[in-house]
Structure 1
């Protein structure tokens, strides 16, 4: 069965829409591929809205393999919903987000007085190493200012992880902001050395709370859906401003304009993954709106 697509074109400040049939199955296949590829950018695209789902993510470090943390991908940028150490992953605050700075199992061997630059102004400093006591004193700083510190013991596997918990992060308490795993301590040729093999960090200092109506680029937050269990960790639903604009334009597409006669037949080139449209419009339209099936609407100043 041949499928249809819509083209809305503009001329002299007026808009008009006609529906065309693409008979070529090759052209239809290419259009579907374009539409599907665009839809995959978000978790779900429907009726001018985009749903971004929270997902459980494994830490890079194998020693933390029995744990997960929540991540939400907002238009190709990864954020971590704020969560507390004692809460279930689906209890994370879906609309209170911090950028993920680091999730690494890279090895660092450090002497007392040395540090690791974690990015965004955060630093992990090694203050002291006590070989006999099997512990190391670590400190987290931001822009040179003290944030937290702890003497980490390596006598048991459970004690080898330092989990940094902070209060008053976007109004929330007991928020996990960093995890550090100490693999081993040993005596070097000149000094004692600590072997760190896992670091996880969020940019808690620049965390943000999203409210209904807030905008991210062209997207407006429409709904906040809290998590309920491990199969549904919560979502944020955004309205696409450009989709709304296109809908409002289409509402006026019934304006009568006999001077506009649209004719843009498609010439498929499946071996190149392209469909070429030839502009035979009468009336010199100034722009075109292309609606491929139900997925993608594109405004262009030139014919495709």
Structure 2
């Protein structure tokens, strides 16, 4: 007869969660939070160098909060975002019938150049489908900007989606050419409206702060729920889910005896967000086998 002794430990686990009130959670920024602010950004095109548009960086990708042609920067919709495709001051020359690929299925085509008036008919398309067109007349200073606005973009109207600056038009006897020296474009077709709890990469949206004035254009506050900082996790649950951290705790351990080492293996299957725990080993049993 061989005797094996297995120590079975009865475990008392006390989870201590650090929580704050909803008000203080909204006001305080804890470790693990990422604050993404709306920044007033100058256009790269020289003709628009004194103008700005709202820009926000999320996980190293640039997005534009939707704004109308009449909005100030701080009045943009901070949680309604479209990816920035182009903000360019590169020069492009196009002849009638030629198309400029703008990326993501967007394109600009020169439909016609009027020899007499020297105005240009431009068409803006998405995936080969017509979006908008405009007769652009170059002014005496040699510049003309076409600003494309669309309605019903994530529920908003008069949203600026593209700007094109025609620098010059050359009309010849055999061919005509236009020079474009400024293009700004957002991916409005893939725009999205963020709500509390939405994820961007490893971060989860915790708070949406609207713009107040020119000094504060608004921001989005994200929390990385993989961090171990107790306060940031507790704040996230309180603000985003409006529930108590204690409601999410569930204690669960399994025990697997090990004959070789005469010990018991405990596997932690508990769920929730514990920040500390206390172990109390207070009883042992001897088990004999024949």
TM (norm. structure 2) is 0.69
Shift in Å, 1:254: 4.2
If asked which structure has higher relative contact order (CA below 8 Å, sep 6+), I would say: 2
Report matched runs for 1:131-146 at 5 Å: 131-146=115-130
Q: 1:184–1:194: 8 Å Cα contact kept in structure 2?
A: yes
Shift in Å, 1:252: 2.6
1:129/1:47 CA distance change after superposition, 3 Å: same
1:212 to 2:196 alignment: yes
**Which segments of 5 or more consecutive residues in structure 2 lack a partner in the other structure?**
1-12, 14-27, 234-271, 282-290
Of 85, 88, 97, the residue aligned with 1:113 is: 97
**Which segments of 5 or more consecutive residues in structure 1 lack a partner in the other structure?**
1-14, 16-43, 258-304
Q: 1:219–1:241: 8 Å Cα contact kept in structure 2?
A: yes
Q: 1:96–1:208: 8 Å Cα contact kept in structure 2?
A: yes
Corresponding residue number in structure 2 for 1:241: 225
Report matched runs for 1:182-197 at 5 Å: 182-188=166-172, 190-197=174-181
* Aligned mates of 1:255, 1:174 — CA distance in 2: 62
* Aligned mates of 1:190, 1:83 — CA distance in 2: 42
1:159/1:194 CA distance change after superposition, 3 Å: closer
Report matched runs for 1:129-278 at 5 Å: 129-156=113-140, 160-188=144-172, 190-243=174-227, 251-255=275-279
Q: 2:167–2:180: 8 Å Cα contact kept in structure 1?
A: yes
> 2:167 aligns to what SS in structure 1?
strand
* Aligned mates of 1:98, 1:72 — CA distance in 2: 10
Q: Rg larger in 1 or in 2?
A: 2
1:172/1:223 CA distance change after superposition, 3 Å: same
* Aligned mates of 2:61, 2:98 — CA distance in 1: 31
* Aligned mates of 1:225, 1:244 — CA distance in 2: 25
Q: 2:59–2:201: 8 Å Cα contact kept in structure 1?
A: no
Q: Report which of the two has the higher share of strand.
A: 1
Give the number of aligned pairs: 217
TM (norm. structure 1) is 0.66
Q: 1:131–1:186: 8 Å Cα contact kept in structure 2?
A: no
1:256/1:245 CA distance change after superposition, 3 Å: farther
